[in-house]
Structure 1
Amino acid sequence: MTGVVVVGASAAGLSVAETLRRQGFDGRITLIGDEPELPYDRPPLSKEILSGRWPDERVWLRDEAAIAGLELDLRLGVRADGVDPAAKTVTLADGVMVSYENLVIATGVRPRWLPGTEGVPGVHVLRTLADARALKVLLAQEPRLVIVGAGFLGAEVASVARTAGAQVTLVSDLDAPLADVLGQDLGELLIGAHREHGVEVVTGVLVEQVLTAGGRAAGVRLADGRTVEADAVLVSIGSVPNVEWLAGSGIEFGNGVLCDEFCQAGPGVWAAGDVASWRHPALGARLRIEHRTNAAEQGMAVARNILAGGDPVPFAPVPYIWSDQYDLKIQIYGLPRGADRFALTEGSVDERSLVGVYGKDDRVCAAVGINKIRAVRAARALVATPTSWDAAFHREGTTI
């Protein structure tokens, strides 16, 4: 094996490179990233960086010396524009062509904008370190901030912004934000925490338009005709996989790069991290997971499978998500969406300290903990090993 090209200087991409070196690979590894930054961690952007608790360099996944020690052909600040699997080359935006024996696609995702808002002053998204820096400057002014989208990212920013003194309005098209993931009771618990901290939560209505005045965002108009004035707008309505550069290559993509259970998208082509859509052998479903733990684990799995030759191992992790909002730490193992039953095993909603499990088709499919770090780790075993609902609890759960 003469060379591995990793497109995406991300947590997943760096995990591929580090694992290859740890496993004894001494060939060329080219790591390509479209940002000028060293590979960095994204979850702290909406928490520690935005709040100012961390300096920017603390989000680096490795310092300069550690990166140098990997002996990479490191190409930062340049994007990949295309790939030719027949010739086994990647073309960069600066015209350079890089050859590979194995290609790993780790290009991640980008934020989804409201139509017509990209580039409008005062309209923000949060994905990159540059985004976090701009938003932190804004929060220092204690602005009126409208956040469009009440998923985990939008809710995390709301908690940081409110703590920083901003007037925050959180707008969701869902009647019960986060209930689609966590169920009605826990969704209400989290939204209730925001309201208690002074966030105005507007539910069940779409944002129809971002209003401008003097060329800057000045608020939003809702689909029911109401308007909300603001100094800035954060759009947090999901993301789009970065796959367009693969057009015409023959590599299959749609909602991500389409891979098999080994994370392989074709001969000598692999994917890892937020952009990878792979068949999870234990769950019997195609997944694409946008979370930090999965990125690192999938990067390691891809590296090992590259080195395994004809004996790859399926990638079958227990999905893991966490979120910090005010004094609440939420952790989820498995996939609670679509569950048909829910039961608390420890604590209570009133205490805002609990462990609960979700069931689907008479099996435990997920576990959630709020301010119960150790206890929810123990509940993870019910998700990791296929466990029937009755065998796990010997009692009937509560339907959600």
Structure 2
Amino acid sequence: MTYVVVGGGLAGAKAVETLRDEGFAGPVTLIAAETERPYERPPLSKGLLLGNDQPDSVYVHAPSWYAEHNVTLLTGTTVTGLDRATKTVSFAGGAVEYDRLLLATGSSPRPLPGALTLRTLADSHRIASAVREGSRVVIAGAGWIGLEIAAFARSRGAEVTVVGSTELPLQNVLGAEIAAVFADLHRANGVTLLGGTRVAAVEGDTVRLADGSTLPADVVIAGIGATPNVSLAVDAGLAVDNGVLVDRRLATSDPDIFAAGDLANVDHPLLKHRIRVEHWATALNSGPVAAKAMLGQDVSYDRLPYFFTDQFDLGMEYIGWVAPGAEPAVVVRGDLAAREFIAFWLVDGKVAAGMNVNIWDVVEPIEALIRSGAVVDPARLADPGVELSDL
């Protein structure tokens, strides 16, 4: 048996690691479009960008790991074709056959002509070099990436304006009450927030907004979302809809091809819904599940979406998922004004998601509440004197 992984990010790297950990001794090839060996992406907008992390700390494995584990690592190699009939992936100057194939090609940031984006190590270095004290920085997009970059830019002494389509940053994700916490945080740290509009164009050192107004800018950075890299799957005739469609085992419509990470639109066995999540934890956890499935193990990807952020003096973790179109009730335990609280999103009286802000070691009991499917008493949920494990 020959195993091939296309995509040199965290999902692909953890998949090949798992193949070896599970005892597979046959040929394994990992094909990465980037010239770097696999690395983790959260530091690109966090510790590495801020200068708090050492450059080598981002890599998944030591340089020698791939040779030591007999994994053929092809960097700087873009797969251009996938032939399911011959079970072959092709690239400039070569091709490799597979018995089982994992697609972990990730996603790409939506471009804004004239603006920088953040996805790769090179992007992070480029932004770090461009932002200086006194720089006029305009960030298009008030999501997680945009706000993290805003916090970084303010730490450098830049003048920062964040332009978002909703009145408050993260409003569509968190709702107005919790989104206001992040808005207040950024305003308190000198960030200008412009809501209810968008960047229409970047014209030299001027940013033109949709309402016709303009902003001066030395640096423009776009954080307006990402799209899954599905072209290879589409050309190969795999089922695709907002990512590559996979079952609970992360198998695609072709039983010998699997997908993991940003790319995978999973038929989630716990949530009873298809979800595609573009966060570090998804790559970390789905790569190993896909590898085990490729080996024939009866596994199931039922991890709850999880992500974290650090902005100024606010640290946050979020776990769970609220279905599109749901109208959750929000219950807060703690002090919003002090930015020390846990927020819960309830759907039909059950905890669907939870966020802890500057409160730690509570992700596991929040996850247990979500998985239990229990109807909870909102008053007890809001009471810090009631242990989460007792709800």
Task: Provide the C-alpha distance between the structure 1 equivalents of 2:244 and 2:139, rounded to a whole number of angstroms.
Answer: 30
Instruction: Report what 1:292 is aligned to.
Output: 280
Instruction: Report what 1:215 is aligned to.
Output: none
**TM-score of the pair, normalised by structure 1:** 0.91
8 A Cα contact 2:133 2:156, kept in partner: no
Among 305, 313, 330, the alignment partner of 2:316 is: 330
8 A Cα contact 1:182 1:336, kept in partner: no
Question: Equivalent residue of 2:235, what SS?
Answer: coil
Establish whether residue 125 from structure 1 lines up as the match of residue 117 from structure 2.
Answer: yes
Letter in 2 for 1:68: A
Offset at residue 336 of structure 1 (A):
4.0
Task: Provide the C-alpha distance between the structure 2 equivalents of 1:365 and 1:182, rounded to a whole number of angstroms.
Answer: 12
Residue-by-residue CA offset, 1:83-103 (whole Å, 9 max, x unaligned): 0111100011x1311100000
Establish whether residue 277 from structure 1 lines up as the match of residue 275 from structure 2.
Answer: no
Offset at residue 9 of structure 1 (A):
0.9
Task: Provide the C-alpha distance between the structure 2 equivalents of 1:142 and 1:65, rounded to a whole number of angstroms.
Answer: 42
8 A Cα contact 1:148 1:171, kept in partner: yes
Offset at residue 140 of structure 1 (A):
3.5
Offset at residue 184 of structure 1 (A):
1.4
Task: Provide the C-alpha distance between the structure 1 equivalents of 2:193 and 2:182, rounded to a whole number of angstroms.
Answer: 11
Task: Provide the C-alpha distance between the structure 2 equivalents of 1:130 and 1:189, rounded to a whole number of angstroms.
Answer: 32
Runs of 4+ in 1 over 4 A off after TM superposition: 392-397
Instruction: Report what 1:257 is aligned to.
Output: 244
Letter in 2 for 1:323: T
Task: Provide the C-alpha distance between the structure 2 equivalents of 1:293 and 1:125, rounded to a whole number of angstroms.
Answer: 21
Establish whether residue 247 from structure 1 lines up as the match of residue 270 from structure 2.
Answer: no
Question: Equivalent residue of 1:64, what SS?
Answer: coil
Task: Provide the C-alpha distance between the structure 1 equivalents of 2:345 and 2:17, rounded to a whole number of angstroms.
Answer: 35
Task: Provide the C-alpha distance between the structure 2 equivalents of 1:189 and 1:141, rounded to a whole number of angstroms.
Answer: 26
Establish whether residue 306 from structure 1 lines up as the match of residue 294 from structure 2.
Answer: yes
Establish whether residue 64 from structure 1 lines up as the match of residue 63 from structure 2.
Answer: yes
Question: Equivalent residue of 1:389, what SS?
Answer: coil
Offset at residue 268 of structure 1 (A):
0.5
Distance 1:142 1:28, change over 3 A: farther
Instruction: Report percent identity of matched pairs.
Output: 37
Instruction: Report what 2:372 is aligned to.
Output: 385
Among 224, 239, 249, the alignment partner of 1:237 is: 224
Letter in 2 for 1:64: P
RMSD value, Cα: 1.7
Among 177, 180, 189, the alignment partner of 2:172 is: 180
Instruction: Report what 2:29 is aligned to.
Output: 30
Instruction: Report what 1:102 is aligned to.
Output: 100
Residue-by-residue CA offset, 1:127-174 (whole Å, 9 max, x unaligned): 000000111111235411100001000000000110111111000011
Offset at residue 389 of structure 1 (A):
2.9
Establish whether residue 204 from structure 1 lines up as the match of residue 196 from structure 2.
Answer: yes
Residue-by-residue CA offset, 1:25-83 (whole Å, 9 max, x unaligned): 00111000000101101000011121122232221111112233221111000111110
**TM-score of the pair, normalised by structure 2:** 0.93
Offset at residue 303 of structure 1 (A):
1.1
8 A Cα contact 1:146 1:219, kept in partner: no
Offset at residue 261 of structure 1 (A):
1.6
Among 222, 227, 230, the alignment partner of 2:209 is: 222
Letter in 2 for 1:134: R
Offset at residue 202 of structure 1 (A):
0.3
Instruction: Report what 2:110 is aligned to.
Output: 112
Task: Provide the C-alpha distance between the structure 1 equivalents of 2:229 and 2:62, rounded to a whole number of angstroms.
Answer: 26
8 A Cα contact 2:246 2:267, kept in partner: yes
8 A Cα contact 1:318 1:334, kept in partner: yes
Letter in 1 for 2:89: V
Task: Provide the C-alpha distance between the structure 2 equivalents of 1:350 and 1:376, rounded to a whole number of angstroms.
Answer: 22
Task: Provide the C-alpha distance between the structure 2 equivalents of 1:19 and 1:80, rounded to a whole number of angstroms.
Answer: 22
Structure 1: give runs of 5+ residues left out of the alignment.
213-217
Distance 1:246 1:341, change over 3 A: same
Instruction: Report what 1:319 is aligned to.
Output: 305
Task: Provide the C-alpha distance between the structure 2 equivalents of 1:255 and 1:395, rounded to a whole number of angstroms.
Answer: 35
